Amino acid sequence: MSEHEFKRALGYANSAFDLLKRSAIPPYPQFYELLYTYATGVNPTLNNRINAIFRNGNTPSENLAEALYNEFLKSDVNDRMTNVSERMHARIEAVHEAIDSAMTTANAYSGSLQTASGDLERDISPVAMKALADRLLSETRRMQETNIALEKKLEASRDDLASLQRDLDDVRRESMLDPLTKISNRKGFDDGLDAAIAEASVSNDPLCLMIVDIDNFKSFNDTYGHQTGDQVLRLVAMTLKSNIKGKDLAARYGGEEFVAILPSTDIEGAVIVAENIRRALQAKQLLKRSTNEKLGRITASFGVATYCAGDTPASLIERADRCLYAAKHAGRNRVISETELADILAKAALVAGASAA
C-alpha cells in the first residue's frame, strides 16, 4: 500500500470511528463496515439515507445501524449462493436415490438370473419352465422400467444442474460489479490484476496499470449533491470503459477512484489510452438534468505504471498511485507515467544539487 493510499484509508477509518463514538454505537465489525462504507461514499444510496438522518437532527442508533447494515451491506449474494447450493445438494441427493434404487433392482435381477441358471441346470417340468420364463420376463420388464425412470431423472438432473450453473455464474458476475457504475468492483479488480500479473510473468508481454482520480470530486459533490455526484461517477465509468478494448478491465477502485488493467500494452500505449480518456472527460459538459444548468467540466488525474518482473499487485498499485499523487501535485487534469515521474525526480535532484553547490 502506498503512503497516499494508506493516508486515504486511515482518513476513512478515523471518520468511521468518530461516527461510532458520536452515535454511541458499539464498534462491532458490521457497524464499523457500515460507517467506513459511508465515509468512502461508494454506496450513494446508503449515504443519502444516513445524510437524511443527520439532516433531521437524529443520529444513527444501534438498532438503526443494524437495520441499515442488513439492508445495504448484508448482501443477498450470499443468500443466493446458499440457495443455489441447497438446490444443487437436493438434486444430487435425488440422483443418488435414483441410482441406489436402480442398483437395488439390478442386484435383485442379478440374483434372479443366478437362481434361474441353477434351475435350468436341473431337469424341470414344462410347467416349471413356463413359470420361470414368466418370472424372468416380469423382472426384466421391471428392470427396464427402473432404467427408464433413472434415465428420466438423470436427464432432469442434467437440465437442473445446467440451470443452477447459470444461476451461479450470474451471482458470481453480480458479486464482481459495482452497483452504481456497472463496471467491475474492487473484488473484480483484485482478481483481474492477479490473473493479469500471473499471465504477464509467464508470457513476458507488457502489462500496465492506470489509476484515475476525479479532480475536486468532494467539493463538487458537496456543492451539487449526491445525485449529481453519482451522475459524474457513472459518466467517468462509461468513458473509461468505452476507451479500453479486448482483455482490458475497467473497475471502480473506491470512492471517486477508478482503475484500468491494460494487458499487452506498453507504457507508451498506456499513456496514449490515459490521454484519450482525459481529453474525452474534459470535453464533456455536465448538465443538471432537472434544470439544464451547466455545472462545468469534469477533469481527472491519471497515474500509469508498468509491470516489472517480480512485481506483486501491491507493488504495481503503489507505483501507479505514486504517479497519480504526482499528477495531483502537478496541477491535476494530467497524466503522469513512471517514465515521466522518473524524469521529474531526476530534474529535481539536479536542481537541488545545483542549489546546494
CB atoms within 10 A of CB 118: 9
Active site residue 256: yes
Check residue 184 and report its DSSP letter.
B
Grid coordinates in use for 349?
535532484
Check residue 284 and report its DSSP letter.
P
Measured between alpha carbons, how far is 23 from 17 in angstroms, rounded to an integer?
Answer: 10
Which of 203, 167, 209, 204 shows the shortest CA–CA distance to 189?
A: 209
Catalytic one among 256, 318, 338, 340?
256
Residue 214 CA: distances (Å) to CA of 42, 62, 252, 288: 14, 34, 12, 18
Query: H or E element: which one contains 19?
Result: helix 3-22
Residue 334 CA: distances (Å) to CA of 2, 187, 211, 212, 276: 20, 27, 12, 10, 11
Grid coordinates in use for 257?
477512484
Task: Please tell me the chain's helix, strand, coil percentages from 3-state DSSP, rounded to the nearest 5.
Answer: 70, 10, 20
Query: Could you write out the DSSP letters of every residue in 216-280?
Result: THHHHHHHH-HHHHHHHHHHHHHHHHHT--TT-EEEEEETTEEEEEEET--HHHHHHHHHHHHHH
Which of 285, 324, 320, 288 shows the shortest CA–CA distance to 305?
A: 320
Measured between alpha carbons, how far is 69 from 46 in angstroms, rounded to an integer?
Answer: 9
Catalytic residue positions, numbered: 256
